[in-house]
Amino acid sequence: MKFSRSEEEWKRALTPEQYRVLREKGTEKPFTGSLLANKEEGVYRCAGCGQDLFRSRSKYESGSGWPSFHIPAKEGAVEARQDLALGISRTEILCSRCGGHLGHVFDDGPNPTGLRYCVNSAALEFEAAQKKKD
């Protein structure tokens, strides 16, 4: 189910940095995102609408400066579209539920997909997995 808000509602719901990234297609500076070094088990959700986007088991160290994943949490969670904004062809990735800009996907990732979903930390919220009690 699609999720939408007016631009004023987005501005009230998001931090200025989240708004810049998700709604204005901004990019964080490399190696500055709060989730880059996160190694906890859990799920990465869209900061705009809360949809599950990636699981920690698909996160890996790409050296790119942004959190990188090799596969979305579920089929259809992420949409791709051509991005010619910098005068080169790249593939932009967006949350399929709210249309928020997440980052880009590249074909230089690890097996089994060969993809690198390069995502801005500001586009994500992380929820740690519940620890089992002994």
Helical H runs in 14-58? 16-22
Percent pLDDT > 90 in the chain is 87
Three-state secondary-structure class, residue 22? helix
Q: Select which of 46, 49, 98, 118 is catalytic.
A: 118
b/e sequence 72-103, b meaning 16+ C-beta within 10 Å: bbeeebbeeeeeeeeeeebebbbbbbbbbbbb
Mean per-residue pLDDT over the chain, rounded: 93
pLDDT confidence of residue 134: 57
Express each pLDDT in 64-111 by its tens digit.
999 999 999 999 999 999 988 878 888 999 999 999 999 999 999 999
- The pLDDT of residue 130: 82
Statement: residue 121 has pLDDT above 80 = yes
User: The whole model's pTM is what?
Assistant: 0.92
pLDDT at position 2 is 82
Task: Assess contact for 44 and 126: CB atoms under 8 A.
Answer: yes
Structural contact between residues 79 and 93, judged by C-beta atoms closer than 8 angstroms = yes
Known catalytic membership, residue 118: yes
Domains observed in the chain: 7-128 (2.170.150.20)
User: What's the rounded Cα separation, in Å, for the pair 38 and 72?
Assistant: 17
